[in-house]
Amino acid sequence: MDFGVGFISTNIMLPILDFFYRIVPSYGFAIIALTLVVRFGLYPLSAGQIRNMRKMKITQPLMKERQEEIQQRYKDDPGKQQEEIGKVMQEFGNPLAGCLPLLLQMPILFALFATLRGSPFADINYTVDLQILPSEQIERVVPQPFTTKPSNIYISDGLHYPIMALLPGGNKLAVEEKTRVQFQTTEGQSLMKLVTETPGSNIEPIFEVIKGSERVKIDKDGTIEALAPGEVTIEATIPGIAAKTGFLFIKALGRVGVMGDDGTINLDILAMVLFFGVSIYLNQELSGSSGGGAQQQQAVNKITPVIFSGMFLFFPLPAGVLMYIVVANVFQTLQTVILMREPLPENLQKLVAQQEKAEKIQEALPFEKRSKKKMS
């Protein structure tokens, strides 16, 4: 049994999505609600990550100074050097500890991401690979049913099933032989029968030959006729019922990319991409990760929002996924504001006071030197 991303998506994300859709029949609202539920659930983990980042920002200069001192003092004794550095880590904490909360929440975030990229928000594609053989060769082939990996398909609002594409006689055909791509649940129920029995459901699969179009002929109902030997790839698509549904300023939750097929700019998606970049910049400013450090690091921090925003131009995402990212980043920003205002532990507060005192002394030194020159 799969207990990975697919399991979390099917057994946790989709039930939450359906729950909120029943409260307010809006897939846009359901995406926002699902995002907030997941973010509140992960709050303790992400809070630990932010607290550790704040702690490291304060302790890192002193840790670095201590480590350099230890390396210099015990340069001829690596064992003692490691021992003393271990004591420093124990005193101030391990910088890598902040990665653990991030790693723990990644499967859930991946599952949420996968949920919003699937049905009902996007079309689901099934790839069917065929091999057309001459009649004399097909006699030696033992027929075995061909099935694809199942995907959750919404056939109506709040109603979905794990559906797979199927070739009952297998994916090896003789020239002039016919077969038909069928869709059914993992329990053997026909998709077409489920659609017929569900009021208001009118989804209809779309078929396209993406490789070897000269070797087969395919009808609208999925019937395939083999014409010539060779390899063939067919893409069967089941439309997402909410892919063309709008929400607030978003024209279609399934719309992909800043540029439309006709060359026009999708302003709704562009606005979300730009907001995403701004939210990353704000998070860096609030957490203090953009200030201090070497000039090279500061330059990297400044260009990071541009890189991540520009990434969506080359790897476009559906509008529904972008909306999730925007909502999640707003939540992250508010969380950062709250946590950065928390009182520091007593030992860290002392370090901050010492650093501030050292900075004041450093600022005063040039003034004192100038004053002495004037007096002389």
Q: Residues 142-160: pLDDT tens digits?
A: 778 888 888 888 888 878 8
**How many angstroms separate the CA atoms of 54 and 48, rounded?**
10
Residue predicted with more confidence, 112 or 84: 112
Confidence of residue 235 (pLDDT cuts 50, 70, 90): very high
Q: Give residue 143's pLDDT.
A: 74
Residue predicted with more confidence, 351 or 150: 150
Residue predicted with more confidence, 111 or 232: 232
Percentage, residues of the chain above pLDDT 90: 2
The neighbouring-strand residues paired with 153 are 161
Instruction: Over range 277-301, report the average pLDDT.
Output: 63
Q: Give residue 369's pLDDT.
A: 47
Identify the top-confidence range among 90-94, 103-107, 110-114: 110-114
Confidence of residue 324 (pLDDT cuts 50, 70, 90): confident
Confidence of residue 274 (pLDDT cuts 50, 70, 90): confident
Q: Give residue 373's pLDDT.
A: 47
- The separation between CA 375 and the C-alpha centre of its own chain, rounded to angstroms, equals 65
Average of per-residue pLDDT values in the chain: 76
Instruction: Over range 232-254, report the average pLDDT.
Output: 84
Q: Is the pTM of this model over 0.95?
A: no
Residue predicted with more confidence, 190 or 136: 190
Amino acid present at 308 = F
Q: Give residue 322's pLDDT.
A: 83
pLDDT digits (tens, 9 = 90+) for 301-323: 667 667 766 677 777 778 888 88
Q: Give residue 102's pLDDT.
A: 60
Confidence of residue 351 (pLDDT cuts 50, 70, 90): low
Segment among 172-186, 241-255, 297-311, 345-359 with least mean pLDDT: 345-359
User: What does the H/E/C string look like for the chain?
Assistant: CCCCHHHHHHHHHHHHHHHHHHHCCCHHHHHHHHHHHHHHHCHHHHHHHHHHHHHHHHHHHHHHHHHHHHHHHCCCCHHHHHHHHHHHHHHHCCHHHHHHHHHHHHHHHHHHHHHHCCCCCCCEEEEEEEEEECHHHHCCCCCCCEECCCEEEEEECCEEEEEEEEECCCCEEECCCEEECEEEECCCCEHHHHHHHCCCCCCCCEEEEEECCCCEEECCCCEEEECCCEEEEEEEEECCCCCCCCECCECCCCCECCECCCCCECHHHHHHHHHHHHHHHHHHHHHCCCCCCCHHHHHHHHHHHHHHHHHHHHCCCEHHHHHHHHHHHHHHHHHHHHHHCCCCCHHHHHHHHHHHHHHHHHHHHHHHHHHHHHHC
pLDDT digits (tens, 9 = 90+) for 66-84: 667 777 777 776 777 677 6
Q: Give residue 95's pLDDT.
A: 55
